[in-house]
Amino acid sequence: MEILVCIKRVPDSAENEIVVDDGGRDIRRDDLTYSVNEWDNYAVEEAIAIAEREGGNVTVVSVGSSEAEEVVRREMAMGAGQGLLLQDDAFDNSDGRGIASILKAAVTKGSYDLVLTGAQADDGAAQVGGMLAAMLDWPYASLVNKVEVSDGKTLRIGREIEGGAQEINEIQTPCVLSVQTGINEPRYVGIRGIRKVASVEIPVLDAAALGIQAGSVGPSGARVSRVDYFVPATGKGAELIEGTTKEIAAKLVHLLKAKGGLK
Amino acid sequence: MAQILADRRDIDFVLHEQLGVESLAKDERFADFNRKAIDLIVSEARNLAMKEILPTQVDGDRIGARFEAGKVTVPESYHKAWKALRDGEWMAMNEDPEVGGQGMPRVVANAASEYLMAAGVAFLMHSGLTHGAGKLIETFGNDKQKKLFLKKLYSGQWAGTMLLTEPDAGSDVGALTTTATPNGDGTYSIVGNKIFISGGEHDMTENIIHPVLARIEGAPAGTGGISLFLVPKIWVNDDGSLGEPNDIVCTGIEEKMGIHGNATCALSLGSKGKCRGTLLGEANKGMSAMFLMMNDARLMVGNQGMTLASAAYMYALNYARTRIQGRSLLKMRDKNAPAIPIIQHPDVRRMLLTMKVYVEALRSLSYYIAYCNDRVALAADPEEKDRFQGLIDFLIPITKGFGTERSFDVCSTAMQVYGGYGYIRDYPVEQLLRDVRISAIYEGTNGIQALDLLGRKLGQNGGKPIRDLFEEIHATLTAARGVDRTAPLAEKMEPLVLRLEEVARHMGVTAMYGDLLNAAAHAHPFMMACGEVVTGWMALWRAQIAAEALGKGAKDKDAAFYEGQIKSAEFFAQTLLPVAMGHLEAILSGSTTANDILEDSFGGK
């Protein structure tokens, strides 16, 4: 099975304090530490596991600046066989639809049976997977937490339903799945994997190579544009629990019971 | 808060701007380790440290290693972390791939280890000792021993230890009484009791391999009659399969101040007369063989100190930035003045800057020694090889002895920054302070390090290592004089360096021809003074690179970092250097009081 996994380089929330920039439309990115989007990492693990089980190849692809190459290489060190970087100044500041259309161009240049994305990324829009499927006119399932290959063309996939319920669906390949965290336990990157990919040239495709009109993506092609970005003021109704850790835990349990969160 | 185990910007600075480690990849041996690989390795070590090793830190402290009926168990999180270390092949990063290593430059492995160690020092001791035991076998083992044990240790399938100390043979290893009697089949029967064995027993691996110091019957007394033996917890058959359990009993583990997550075992060998081992290396050459492992272990302990100090500094810095307490001293009378983050209080800034200077210098020293090891490995010219090896030899007691004392000071200062909260368990520096304390004691107390520096290293090869070190320091002084912002700092540093040269001669002469006891009484101050000069050297070296980078124009984030480097060197030159100079004067005074005072005059009677 030929699998393509779409990945994104995002600020690492474990290492960064996020601060809104002076322009008020984005966060300050200069001082940040970056890593691969957590959801995407689960998707890559799932793809590698499927390829190990069923045979096939895994390619990871990212739309981004030259710095995005580091996460492509990282996921290759994890076990993806190929990497692809989609990079062009025209791609900068694309909206979700723009990103999906760039990815669509990459998908159609290959011959993939399955495309995986993370369920969402740092901006939380959770839109690229669905849009990509629509553009390709492929079946799509979101929030996938289980994938089994029934036969060459059919997958049985599990989906997380609100309230903790679970459903199982059958879906025909080629298809797009957006993957939820918790579907697996992503492997760590080992030194052997890093050595293997340290000097590998990662192909870079620009707008021309992908057959994309520069004006159809980026800010000019965007149909959604962010106009403001801020940390909301603390509202009423929030209660700050103070005390020692034990006291805080005890009060929290008491409150959860009182409000019906715990029975 | 963001979880920061180590300062990545500073690690990258040392690796790439101070030492230029990427150039090591020009040699075929390190060709795989280009900048991209190095960056990935450090990032992934951090990732592994945060997700798998950090949970062992608190578990190790609160649950700890537990002893029951001769068996030791470690917390559940240890098993998962050990598997992750094994899967990623992080155990023997810098060893030859032919024997199960990853062939990485030691300086890069040092950077990876910094993250791993900062996340769980008690846990990581297991892999450090395993690596060390493997290295002994790689260096001194015969073909059979290598075949049976080496890859299993380097892969972490089995764990390793080192068995030196006995109840009456601690700092004086030569007094050990464990015996080895030939069985006639190539094996020896080992009988004796060993104590203070880190990781001597646990349930993380199916087998534990103990390199054991013992005396073959009839061998000379003292260290010249000591041999090294390989004694597995479970006997290993010739085909590599596991045989019967060896006659080794863990009779208890110590209740310690810190590193509760690493069992400190008392082991009884051969209490039923059935403990078997094989000779590792030559008979009666055990001590010199063990020194190979000891030297690496001393570097590891120096690194333990540095990483815990660095983590403590990171915590204290973050706390000082976020803890709001007290008004500005300039607005004391204004009752409505807002409270400010404590990082704005002058005394807190003094503490933070002191910590910063030592943490940065110790990191540079640690990486520099590892880099010298790589240069030894690559040197084609024997003279160049000897020069770097001499520098390593001289700097080991300094990074271990001076480094761990200053690391404890840094952790203690971190606690001070937290105030009362620092003293309670809910905050991390309380554990760091307890965990770091052992580093000044084990692998040779710092008193032993000082004697090693004075007795072995100062006069080694006719004093060439210390002369080479001074040459390196003078090269930095010259470079710093050529940069406007560091030229005045170099001027301040030079008299300190020259004074140390004088003190070194004085110490050498006193030890050789004058009063050995008097030299020994000043050995520790001498080691500490060497450490202070090395601190100043590293601070100046860093500042000179930073000033040049600023001169070329640096981005906002980098500019603040580089300014911080110059401030560290300034603080050293203006505040810490005069104190170091005072210590040098005290050594030169040749005071004999410590030896003159009557034992009864110490009081208590």
Compare CB distances from A17 to B2, B34, B44 and report the shortest one's residue: B2
| B152-185 tens-digit pLDDT | 999 999 999 999 999 998 888 889 999 999 999 9
Is there a domain that residue A226 lies in? Answer: no
Over range A46-70, report the average pLDDT: 96
| Strand partners for B585 | none
Q: Which helix (H) or strand (E) holds A178?
A: strand A175-179
Inter-residue contact B549 to B558 (CB < 8 Å):
yes
- Do A202 and A260 fall into the same domain? no
Using CA coordinates, name the residue in chain A closest to B561. A31
Residues from chain A contacting residue B426 (CB–CB below 8 Å): 244-245
Whole-number pLDDT of residue B3? 63
Over range B82-93, report the average pLDDT: 96
For residue B395, what are its two tokens?
């700097």
Whole-number pLDDT of residue B314? 96
Compare CB distances from A191 to B3, B52, B89 and report the shortest one's residue: B89
Over range A161-173, report the average pLDDT: 91
Structurally, how many domains does chain A consist of? 2
Burial classification of residue B187, based on how many CB atoms lie within 10 Å of its CB (0-12 exposed, 13-18 middle, 19 or more buried) = middle
* For residue A116, pLDDT beyond 70: yes
Amino acid identity for residue B400 in this structure: K
* For residue B67, pLDDT beyond 90: yes
| B341-368 tens-digit pLDDT | 999 999 999 999 999 999 999 999 999 9
Whole-number pLDDT of residue A263? 67
Is there a domain that residue A68 lies in? Answer: yes
Is there a domain that residue A229 lies in? Answer: no
**Pairing verdict, β A82-86 and B264-269:** unpaired
Is there a domain that residue A44 lies in? Answer: yes
Inter-residue contact A147 to A46 (CB < 8 Å):
yes
Task: Tell whether A52 is within 8 A of chain B (Cβ).
Answer: no
| B289-329 tens-digit pLDDT | 988 888 999 999 999 999 999 999 999 999 999 999 999 99
- Do A214 and A241 fall into the same domain? no
Contacting residues for B334 by C-beta, under 8 A, at least 6 apart: B327
Over range A142-161, report the average pLDDT: 92
Q: Which helix (H) or strand (E) holds A218?
A: helix A218-221
| A21-54 tens-digit pLDDT | 878 777 777 667 788 999 999 999 999 999 999 9
Residues from chain A contacting residue B90 (CB–CB below 8 Å): 190-191
Whole-number pLDDT of residue B92? 95
Cα separation of B18 and B41, whole Å? 19
- Do A87 and A151 fall into the same domain? yes
Q: What does R_g of chain B's alpha carbons equal in angstroms?
A: 25
Beta carbons of A189 and B47 less than 8 Å apart: yes
B52 catalytic, yes or no?
A: no
* For residue B50, pLDDT beyond 70: yes
Whole-number pLDDT of residue A232? 81
Is there a domain that residue A230 lies in? Answer: no
Mean pLDDT of chain B: 96
Measured in whole angstroms, how far is the alpha carbon of residue A256 from the centre of its chain?
32
Task: Tell whether A30 is within 8 A of chain B (Cβ).
Answer: yes
* For residue B516, pLDDT beyond 50: yes
- Do A81 and A184 fall into the same domain? yes
Q: Whole-model pTM?
A: 0.92
Using CA coordinates, name the residue in chain A closest to B108. A191
- Say which range, A230-239, B119-128, B196-205, B448-457, has the weakest mean pLDDT: A230-239
Q: Which helix (H) or strand (E) holds B166?
A: none
Compare CB distances from B32 to A35, A188, A195 and report the shortest one's residue: A195
Instruction: Please compute, for residue B66, the number of CA atoms within 13 A of its CA located in the half-sphere on the CB side.
Output: 9
Whole-number pLDDT of residue A28? 75
- Do A27 and A100 fall into the same domain? yes
| B554-598 tens-digit pLDDT | 887 899 999 999 999 999 999 999 999 999 999 999 999 999 999
Amino acid identity for residue B129 in this structure: L
Inter-residue contact A191 to B40 (CB < 8 Å):
no
- Do A120 and A250 fall into the same domain? no
Catalytic residue chosen out of the listed positions B22, B201, B405, B443: B443
- Do A70 and A174 fall into the same domain? yes
Compare CB distances from A188 to B32, B48, B555 and report the shortest one's residue: B48
- Do A260 and A199 fall into the same domain? no
* For residue B1, pLDDT beyond 50: no
Whole-number pLDDT of residue A14? 64
Cα separation of B425 and A121, whole Å? 36
Over range A164-181, report the average pLDDT: 95
- Domains of chain B by start residue, with CATH: 8-154 (1.10.540.10), 160-283 (2.40.110.20), 445-597 (1.20.1410)
* For residue B445, pLDDT beyond 70: yes
Contacting residues for B550 by C-beta, under 8 A, at least 6 apart: B485, B559, B562, B563, B566
Instruction: Give the number of beta-carbon pairs within 8 Å between A and B.
Output: 74
- Do A140 and A262 fall into the same domain? no
Q: How confident is the model at residue A15 (pLDDT cuts 50, 70, 90)?
A: low
ipTM reported for the complex, 2 dp: 0.87
The whole domain housing A209 covers 2-221
- Do A194 and A105 fall into the same domain? yes
Beta carbons of B102 and A15 less than 8 Å apart: no
